[in-house]
C-alpha cells in the first residue's frame, strides 16, 4: 500500500506476504504485480490526449476509424464510459483465450448489442480493446509505445510496463484459492482454502489495452495522483474522466457497499468511490488471474492510496476503502 500527500512530499508504503505463493520469499516494495483493468486508465488518458490535441473527437463514431458492426451508432465517448452496448468478448461462443485484440474485437462484433448505444451502462473489456485499436490507427504507432512515451517515461514510472509474455524486473507469482475450477469446491461460502499458484495466464497478454499492465503500488499511486490532479490531461478532460455518467449512476444506485467503500458511478475512464468518513475518490480497480489491484486519489484530501495483491480472492474494493480510512486517519 502506498499513500501520497502534498505533491508527494509525504509518502509511506507497507509490504506483507510472499512473492511466490504458497512459498516463503518475502515481498519487497519493488516487486511488480499484474494490475489488470487499471490499464484502462492509461488507455483512457491516451484517448483524452488525442482529443485534446484535436486529432480525434470523443463524438467520433467507431466507423470514423475502424470497421465494426453498428460502428456508425457507437462513439468514442460511449466506449470510454461503457455505454456502447458491445458485449464482453470473452463470454461469447468461439472465444480464443490466445487471440490477438483484433480477433477478440471481431468476435464481439458478431454478437447483438446489449442495448441501444448510449442508453445504458454495461462494463466490458471489449470497449477498451477497440479504443486501443483506434489509438493505433490514429497515431500510426503501437498502443504499447504510446503508453510508454506519453506516460511511463515522462512520469518516471520505472517499475511499470506492458506485459507481452516475458517479465521485466522482478514480477511476482499470483495465487488463487483452490475453488470454482473443474473438480474443485465452490468458493462460497467463504472458508479457508488451499492456495494454488498462478504462474502464467494468456489473459495477462490478450487483455492488452484493457488489462495487460504490470506495476507497483508506488507507481500506481504516483500515476493516479498525476492523472486526477491534471498533470496528464487538462482540467476539462480530467472532469470528463471523473464525472460519473447518468447511465452508470443508475447502474450502481442499488449496489451494496464493500466495507467502508461504495462505487457510485464511472466517468470516461475513472471510477468514483465514496468512502465513509473520508470523502470522494477517483480511481480504478483491476483483476486478472492471480492478482487484484486498486488505486484512487482524493482531490479534497490530497491523498492517494494504491495497493497490489497477488491473491485473486482479495476484496479489492473493501481493501481500498479500509486502507484509505487508515491513511486518512494517519495510521501507518
Domain boundaries, the chain: 2-7+33-169+199-315
Q: What single DSSP character describes residue 26? A: B
User: How high is the pLDDT of residue 189?
Assistant: 65
HEC sequence for 77-97 = HHHHHCCCCCCCHHHCCCCCC
Confidence of residue 14 (pLDDT cuts 50, 70, 90): confident
Q: Is the pLDDT of residue 23 over 80?
A: yes
Taking the C-alpha atoms of residue 83 and residue 114, their distance in angstroms, rounded to an integer, is 10
Confidence of residue 5 (pLDDT cuts 50, 70, 90): very low
2-7+33-169+199-315 is classed in which CATH architecture?
3-Layer(aba) Sandwich (3.40)
Q: Which residues lie below 8 Å from residue 146, measured CB to CB, with a gap of 6+?
A: 46, 135, 136, 139
Q: Is the pLDDT of residue 6 over 80?
A: no
Confidence of residue 186 (pLDDT cuts 50, 70, 90): confident
Q: What cell was used for 308?
A: 497490489
Taking the C-alpha atoms of residue 263 and residue 317, their distance in angstroms, rounded to an integer, is 8
Enter the pTM of the model.
0.95
**Mean pLDDT across 47-70:** 97
Whole-number Cα distances in Å, 180 to 183, 223, 292:
8, 34, 17
Amino acid at each position: 500500500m502506498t499513500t501520497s500527500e502534498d505533491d508527494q512530499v509525504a509518502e509511506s508504503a507497507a509490504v506483507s506476504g510472499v512473492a511466490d505463493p504458497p512459498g516463503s520469499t518475502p515481498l519487497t516494495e519493488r516487486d511488480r504485480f499484474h494490475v489488470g483493468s487499471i490499464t484502462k486508465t492509461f488507455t483512457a488518458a491516451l484517448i483524452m490526449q488525442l482529443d485534446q490535441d484535436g486529432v480525434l473527437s470523443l463524438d467520433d463514431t467507431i466507423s470514423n476509424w475502424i470497421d465494426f458492426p453498428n460502428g456508425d451508432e457507437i462513439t468514442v465517448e460511449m466506449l470510454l464510459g461503457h455505454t456502447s452496448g458491445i458485449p464482453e468478448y470473452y463470454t461469447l461462443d468461439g472465444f480464443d483465450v490466445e487471440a490477438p485484440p483484433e480477433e477478440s474485437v471481431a468476435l464481439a462484433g458478431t454478437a447483438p448489442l446489449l442495448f441501444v448505444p448510449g442508453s445504458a451502462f454495461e462494463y466490458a473489456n471489449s470497449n477498451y480493446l477497440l479504443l486501443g485499436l483506434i489509438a493505433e490507427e490514429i497515431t500510426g504507432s503501437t498502443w504499447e509505445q504510446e503508453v510508454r512515451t506519453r506516460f511511463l517515461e515522462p512520469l518516471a514510472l520505472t517499475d511499470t510496463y506492458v506485459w507481452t509474455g516475458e517479465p521485466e524486473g522482478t514480477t511476482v507469482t499470483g495465487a488463487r484459492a483452490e475453488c470454482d475450477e473443474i473438480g474443485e469446491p465452490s468458493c462460497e461460502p467463504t472458508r479457508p482454502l488451499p492456495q494454488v499458484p498462478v504462474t502464467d495466464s494468456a489473459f495477462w497478454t490478450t487483455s492488452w489495452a484493457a488489462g495487460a499492465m504490470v506495476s507497483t503500488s508506488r507507481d500506481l499511486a504516483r500515476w493516479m495522483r498525476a492523472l486526477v490532479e491534471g498533470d496528464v490531461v487538462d482540467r476539462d478532460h480530467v472532469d470528463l474522466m471523473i464525472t460519473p455518467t447518468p447511465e452508470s449512476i443508475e447502474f450502481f444506485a442499488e449496489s451494496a457497499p464493500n466495507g467502508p467503500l461504495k462505487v457510485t458511478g464511472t466517468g470516461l475512464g475513472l471510477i468514483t468511490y465514496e468512502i465513509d468518513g473520508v470523502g470522494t475518490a477517483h480511481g480504478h480497480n483491476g483483476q486478472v488471474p492471480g492478482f487484484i489491484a486498486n488505486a484512487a486519489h482524493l482531490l479534497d484530501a490530497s491523498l492517494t492510496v494504491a495497493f497490489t495483491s497477488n491473491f485473486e480472492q482479495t476484496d479489492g474494493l473493501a481493501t481500498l476503502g479500509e486502507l484509505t480510512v487508515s491513511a486518512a486517519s494517519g495510521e501507518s
